[in-house]
Structure 1
Amino acid sequence: MDGPVSGARRTTLRTADVARESGYSLQQVRDLERLGVIPPAARSGNGYRSFAPIHLHALRAYRGLAGAVGPVTARQVLAELRTRTVAEAASAINEAHVRLARERDEALRAQKALEAIEAEAGTSGFEPGREREHEDDAMTITELAGALGVRPSALRFWEQEGLVAPERVTSLRARRYGLPAIRAARIVTALRSAGYGIPAVREVTASLHRLDGLEEAHAILRGRLDQIAVRTVALLRAGADLAAVVTSDRDPAAP
């Protein structure tokens, strides 16, 4: 139950006040309290909830953090912040910034890998699906895995998923990768290193026989970078509210 609180400038807030100011519904406010995202509300003798400004800070912090790292991780972080020292809490928030920076670096590395493949294709007169292959161009699974910096098991898995199609030496059942497979494997490696799942990678590799295959891969990575930028802005917007949650009722010099 949630009752009214009188006064022109409230230091205590009703559930309805918190919901209106935070943009969450009444039930969402109650659920987030139950999940430990916000501190427990004070209760009067008749069971009415009484919230404080720190609850608004926590809800706004959760919104930004959820946009940056996902709701599950955001709930876990917000629930833990109140039990940590200021230094530990600040470190936990910094980890979210580091994670986003790492994702951005991985996407940029993947983008550079695709640019290198594109440049190589341009200098060799490459057209997707029309490579002229020589015996010396083919690679074994061990050679290709070493060149890409992945395990042979990864190449076998990609084969099972239809991402890379090696040739086989039938007498020994040994895999051999020609130029088409090598190029596909390099693109798969670039996209997987940027955090893309198998379905998205499959969509790109399926288009490699078309002239826009590499451009589609670039488009996916540009979309990834745009998404990371949006998440980073969400985390920045949550900064002041996260700081309020971290420092509320705590001494920064406390052990």
Structure 2
Amino acid sequence: MRETTDGSRRGPLRTVDVARESGYSVQQVRDLERLGVIPPATRAGNGYRSYTAVHVQALRAYRGLAHAVGPVEARRTLAELRTGPIAKAASAVGAVHVRLARERDEALRAQEALRAIRTEADTGEFEHEGDAMTITELAGALGVRPSALRFWEEEGLVVPERVTSLRARRYGLSAIRAARIVAALRASGYGIPAVRDVIGSLHGLEGREEAQRVLGRRLDQIAERTVALLRAGTDLAAVVMSAEDAPHVRSEPPGQPVPSA
């Protein structure tokens, strides 16, 4: 069995070979095959699984995707890469890059909001509120559902201005800033009680420093996920092209269910 220039082997691979080359354990390889992360292995006459380099590449691609967007979405994306048209497969990978870029932009905007709050607290000067946003506009800007903003309101985290005649929520600059910071804290894994503590102490030095630490870690995590996705790029392309070389795979009907965990 010969090795290619990228270290993968030509010809049939045993489960232990795939495990060694992909960095997963033998049991993980079997589990990920069962979940549909990789195509089903062929079976020899004695019942043993037989894999190819494509399976190794799919597992490596999955590792990077799972780090970037989580295992559930990684499984769904890989299924789309193997079964959809090549244009749709390329678009799916591009969407992951766009998502990470948006998360980074929101974390940076939260940092800007924190700096503005710090300036106001230190100088006593408050910026003009400027234009307000509706709940739909703010939810869209943050990438959350309007119901999330309503929940944050119930928890006292983000307080909107109200148009009393229509009972429609409108958010001024201070509320928009608070919402950006809440969204970043929640995306970093903070529970509601912890977010409430930070938001409640933002005008104090301790609260601002804690928020700054969280946002800094958030940006570091997004950078790590982006690098993982970039490292998986070659293997993702190999998965797409291997499916392109197998027309019968591309012809599967859209909306085919993906095995869930």
Same fold? TM cut 0.5: yes
Distance 1:77 1:124, change over 3 A: same
**Inter-partner Cα distance in structure 1 for 2:222 and 2:55:** 28
Secondary structure, in 3 states, of the residue corresponding to 1:248? helix
Number of residue pairs matched? 216
Q: What's the counterpart of residue 230 of structure 1?
A: 224
Q: What's the counterpart of residue 177 of structure 1?
A: none
Q: Are residue 212 (structure 1) and residue 202 (structure 2) matched?
A: no
Greater Cα radius of gyration, structure 1 or 2: 1
Q: What's the counterpart of residue 133 of structure 1?
A: none
Secondary structure, in 3 states, of the residue corresponding to 1:17? helix
Distance 1:107 1:247, change over 3 A: same
**Inter-partner Cα distance in structure 1 for 2:2 and 2:73:** 37
**Inter-partner Cα distance in structure 1 for 2:242 and 2:208:** 51
Secondary structure, in 3 states, of the residue corresponding to 1:36? coil
Equivalent residues of 1:85, 1:252 under 8 A apart: no
Alignment map for 1:157-196 (pairs within 5 Å)? 157-158=151-152, 160-163=154-157, 185=175, 187-194=177-184, 196=186
Residues 139-176 of structure 1: per-residue CA shift (max 9 Å, x gap): xxxxx9x846547987764354253689xxxxxxxxxx
Offset of residue 54 of structure 1: 0.5
Distance 1:98 1:8, change over 3 A: closer
Relative to the length of structure 1, the TM-score reads 0.73
Superposition CA RMSD, Å:
3.2
Equivalent residues of 2:82, 2:243 under 8 A apart: no
Distance 1:114 1:92, change over 3 A: same
Alignment map for 1:1-255 (pairs within 5 Å)? 7=1, 10-124=10-124, 147=132, 149-150=134-135, 157-158=151-152, 160-163=154-157, 185=175, 187-194=177-184, 196=186, 198-199=191-192, 200-208=194-202, 210-250=204-244
Give the fraction of aligned pairs with identical amino acids, expressed as a percent. 64
Residues 175-211 of structure 1: per-residue CA shift (max 9 Å, x gap): xxxxxxx96x555312234362553422312434642
**Inter-partner Cα distance in structure 1 for 2:43 and 2:25:** 20
Q: Unpaired runs of 5+ in structure 1?
A: 1-6, 127-143, 167-181
Secondary structure, in 3 states, of the residue corresponding to 2:244? coil
Offset of residue 249 of structure 1: 4.8
Q: Unpaired runs of 5+ in structure 2?
A: 4-9, 137-145, 161-172, 252-261
